[in-house]
Structure 1
């Protein structure tokens, strides 16, 4: 490996989620512990679905980018006054977290929310919403396909578990997401490499997800039975590349040379340290081939920010 290639090589994986949403709950957080610094946090009510009847995905994020911090702080007064602030955003390290509600009709009940780090944000005029036909909440990155199941109700649908790679290449963190695939091209690729997944070979893909959603499931066996564990749900809308045990076996022929279809580090981190595929959670997809019942963020709470905006 040359010096120039070494200087360009990245040593970490990124999962990026982008979209439009309303800025909410700006606050300074002071963690417990003497050596932990305070940080700026906010919430984003991300829009997804059709332009005339959008739904919302709630993200609770730490504001990491310096310019993003400046922008968020500049709108504190507007947010506190209930004025709508629309932003375009990029969030990294997206994951789902379980919490217990402390107020309202569901006080004491578990729920889940998306979390991450806000890297970039730009304010938009509300008139942009009038031009939107479809809101897209996109998530891109690299991950392992570790389970594929055919739907018993819809022959054209596939369920699978995707272990998204995040953090250091040497010691990655896996973010698990249950995904549905309906696009014929994606379904065909999953079917083509399902035997490799079944044989527990390392099937690494660059992917695009749509409409990421926080969820949780209750463990039913083992020493952690009864615990609520976070997971995410989404739609697998695109596969750009596939590697099986480190060897590239597929690349979208129509996008060769278009680097924007891949995460920034897709080409420099082809392998993860170790020989094992990522461990499976309990269980993202059950043996019957259908999604298990998983509680998700209630749409009523997710829709609340829009009601505030319209007020």
Structure 2
């Protein structure tokens, strides 16, 4: 008996820590609504940032958006440890400002997992070391 071990796809995952911005529920004319966010991922010794535009696809991540991030305000600070997949680039043309008419590049990815979530200095979710999700209860 032989086993088929042929690879049918390749995975590229990005893990990091950063700030969630522009959290929004996208409701396309065709298809199902989905969550989207921009992540300012921290890197380097000086806290440099790399920006990712993400659609939320992981089941646990979707649940966290429904539970904790659906009602965040514009001035709330959301930080998280995350896992992204399926990174690709997309070009666009700036429409206004000093770069008007120039081509820009955006990094796009799928948000697969949230391992740690903090809203305004309060930890609201942390995945345990056994990889089982464990919501953190409010101290109030």
| TM-score normalised by structure 1 residue count | 0.37
Secondary structure at 1:131's aligned position in 2? Answer: coil
1:158 aligns with 2:35: yes
Match of 1:218 in 2: 93
The alignment's C-alpha RMSD in Å is 2.0
Match of 1:148 in 2: 23
Shift in Å at residue 221 of structure 1?
1.4
Output one character per residue of 1:232-280: Cα deviation in whole Å (capped at 9) or x when no partner.
011111111101233321112xxx1259xxxxxxxxxxxxxxxxxxxxx
Aligned pairs for 1:171-186 (under 5 A) are 171-186=46-61
Shift in Å at residue 218 of structure 1?
1.6
Greater strand proportion:
2
Shift in Å at residue 142 of structure 1?
0.6
Structure 1 residue runs without a partner (length 5+): 1-129, 260-311
* Separation of aligned partners in 1, 2:53 and 2:111: 9
* Separation of aligned partners in 2, 1:134 and 1:232: 21
| TM-score normalised by structure 2 residue count | 0.76
* Separation of aligned partners in 2, 1:184 and 1:149: 17
* Separation of aligned partners in 2, 1:235 and 1:188: 15
* Separation of aligned partners in 2, 1:195 and 1:152: 17
Contact 1:156–1:182, Cα closer than 8 Å, also in 2: no
Contact 1:156–1:187, Cα closer than 8 Å, also in 2: no
Match of 1:257 in 2: 129
Greater helix proportion:
1
Shift in Å at residue 231 of structure 1?
1.7
1:195 aligns with 2:67: no
Contact 1:146–1:200, Cα closer than 8 Å, also in 2: no
Q: Provide the aligned length of Structure 1 versus Structure 2.
A: 124
Which has the higher Rg, Structure 1 or Structure 2?
A: 1
Contact 1:215–1:231, Cα closer than 8 Å, also in 2: yes
Secondary structure at 2:129's aligned position in 1? Answer: coil
Structure 2 residue runs without a partner (length 5+): 132-140
